Structure 1
Amino acid sequence: MKMRYAFTLPVSILLAILFFASTIGAETASDHPSSEEGITINFSTWHPSESMEVQTVWIPMLDALKVGSGGRITYALFDGEVLGSGPEHYEIVANGRSDMGYATLTWTPGRFPLSDVLSLPASIECKETSTDIGNAVYDRALREEFSDVKVIELNPCINSHLWTKEPVSTLEDVRGLRIRSPGGLQTRCIEAIGAEPVFMPLDSVRGAMENGTIGGIVTCPSMVQSFGLGDVADHCTLVTFGCVGEGLFMNLEAWDKTPEDLLPIIEEVCQNPYRTTGGMTKETYDEIIADLNESGVVFVSLQPEEEGRWHAAFQNMTREWVADLEVRGLPARETVEIFNEECEKRDVVCVAFPPEWR
């Protein structure tokens, strides 16, 4: 069944965009004359066409650009891996196959070593907060890893969980289990609990679960819903796994060719697209979990003592990852401390942060 999502741009945001756009020329006319030239943004994402991300975030965000620019920004949307597989999407933007696009950094292991910090287990419950954290960490610690694109926003997604065929309530239940990893520090987390990580794109997970290649998945609730995985992974252990590092990027040539007076509109609308659109909120995720529960997925919360064992394993993983990167001369501990600081500012708990580092 196809999912449809109704969306209305919030009036307060719409008015703010229009006001912002109307003042740009007046404030900067003497230095940067506005051009009446328009642009078409070719936008790419691996999210499926009918997903919540496309329907409640990307289309409304692109529509907000059109409104805020008085129609001078239009767009063409290439979703559902039309331009390439999920792991290709950063290169799709960097190489100019699209002008702007969404990419998951942890799907290209080793390319963004410090940015893996965004995949640390943290109890993030909505994308708006996630993006505020990611943007702050980018500003403070990650800029040097993105010289080949214009970074519009970065985010550590939202809290992922463990989805399995059989119920899991202790560390012993996952010993030796082959679990799909989205990459990044989730791979190390899976190893830390004694399981075997298997990296694969989401569109390969159903077949792998059905034929027994893997017995579990680490991902967030929206991806279980979007890819229809609730019937092959119908037990969810609500442990804080964190998620992936991802973000919205613009091709450098496309950015440089954009009329000067449109650049602030793009940044204003897109630097936190979830705030702009009101999409992917905590309420959204609560509804997804309720829908999955109603469809037959069984959710299990760990007992406090058992949860502490998982968190201790994640904290040891952080220590080892930091040690590995610092041998290479990378400021990994400082980056982890920055990530934790930005989480704490927003009442988010990074369960993988070693307590002795506070």
Structure 2
Amino acid sequence: MRREGRRISQGKYLVSLTSTLTPATTTTRFAPLRRRNDPTRKTLLELTLARESIERLLTTSKPTHIPDLRDRLHRLPWLPHLTPQILDSSRLLSHFLPKLLSASDKLVPWDLKLDAKELLNKWKSGDLSGDPLRGVTEPSSGGRGRGFDSSWPYARSCNVPGHNGLVVGQWFPLQITCVRDGAHGEMEAGIHGTKTHGALSVILSGGADNTGSEYEDDDLGSSIFYCGTKNSKNDGVATRATQYLLDAEKKKGVVRVLRSAKCGSRYAPDVGIRYDGLYRVTGKIPMGEEREAHYRFTLVREEGQPPIRCAKDWEGERRPTKYERNWRAGEGKMLGMEM
């Protein structure tokens, strides 16, 4: 029977006594004892608690350990002062998170696996920052909005079809961070694409088109009726954004669908923007007069994907997590999580 590890102080070192699966074999590991004012101390503690929570669930197979593990995973993306050395020593990246992903689906809930995969993808890329706005510059005093930090090395291209390294439920505080992570390609517009692929991603955010008319979108969850943009010149030529959707409809292509809190749908996140998976553009109907080149497109969610993580009555699978919601509520300050 596995026993929990015990940690005691011996002079300059912190001693970790942890038995393996066989009680007869006990290993002793030494790590430098961190001073209380060391900024990495709490980060080390969070990593240790997460690792131990994974071990408890996998060794006991008791579902009572799931809520604690879920909370531990939700805290990890926010860690400050995380370095490659600290992460390597925790073995979360090399051993414990992969072990969690390979465990039985009956033991580890699907939302836990998604959150673990998102974290694994981020850390494997080398991105260890706990700042939700990493790689994004602050608005300038001259009135210019946020931009991109040219020195940020982990930006991902948005011109790749499919999931593009994202996991269903991945959350973004602002649209510019969707662009940073390759989920979308427009700082403000809701449709992104290329001439080669057609539409690659859309954001459901409500609002009005370029003529001031409200979009007649209809979000049914697994299917969406999504409006392109009107041609304000009334010359019968589709706008660039609408043409991307027309090309995708012709090819029966798939697009990444993101929902913004602004879209007003029951499937929308409370705050920010959430990636909800791949939808296929299966058809269109004309809207208004022919000279407006305005269409409403039918998008159908691809089968075999995880559910949309919008449950309002259960905290577990919901995204954004409570820490993500608290960050937005605090306008950039973490509430309810002292780090």
TM-score normalised according to structure 2 size: 0.25
Give 1 or 2: higher strand fraction. 2
Give 1 or 2: higher helix fraction. 1
Larger radius of gyration: 2
TM-score normalised according to structure 1 size: 0.24
Q: Which has the higher contact order (CA 8 A, sep 6+)?
A: 1
